[in-house]
Amino acid sequence: MIATALVGVSASPAAAYCRSGMTKWNSTSSAKTIGANTTFPSGLRNGLNGGLKQWNRSSSALRYNSPVYTGGWQIYAFRASYSYTSLMGSAPGYAATQVSGRTHNGGTLYLSNRFTWVNASQNIGQGRADVQTVVVHEVGHFTGLAHPWPGPCTDGSAYTAAEKGSVMTTINTGTRRALNSDDIAGVRAIY
Ligand SMILES: [Zn+2]
pLDDT tens sequence for the chain (191 residues): 333 333 333 344 456 899 988 999 999 999 999 999 999 999 999 999 999 999 999 999 999 999 999 999 999 999 999 999 999 999 999 999 999 999 999 999 999 999 999 999 999 999 999 999 999 999 999 999 999 887 657 666 678 888 999 999 999 999 999 999 999 999 999 99
pLDDT of residue 5: 34
Tens digits of residue pLDDT in 93-126: 999 999 999 999 999 999 999 999 999 999 999 9
Q: What's the CA-to-centroid distance between 21 and ligand 1, angstroms?
A: 12
pLDDT of residue 10: 37
3-38: buried (b, 16+ CB within 10 Å) or exposed (e) per residue? eeeeeeeeeebbbbbbbeebbbbeeeeeebebbbbe
Q: What's the CA-to-centroid distance between 12 and ligand 1, angstroms?
A: 24
pLDDT of residue 180: 95
pLDDT of residue 152: 56
Tens digits of residue pLDDT in 82-102: 999 999 999 999 999 999 999
User: What's the predicted TM-score (pTM) here?
Assistant: 0.91
Q: What's the CA-to-centroid distance between 135 and ligand 1, angstroms?
A: 10
Q: What's the CA-to-centroid distance between 111 and ligand 1, angstroms?
A: 12
| Domains defined for the chain, CATH in brackets | 22-190 (3.40.390.10)
pLDDT of residue 156: 63
Q: What's the CA-to-centroid distance between 62 and ligand 1, angstroms?
A: 20
Whole-number Å distance between alpha carbons of 68 and 159 = 37
Whole-number Å distance between alpha carbons of 140 and 134 = 10
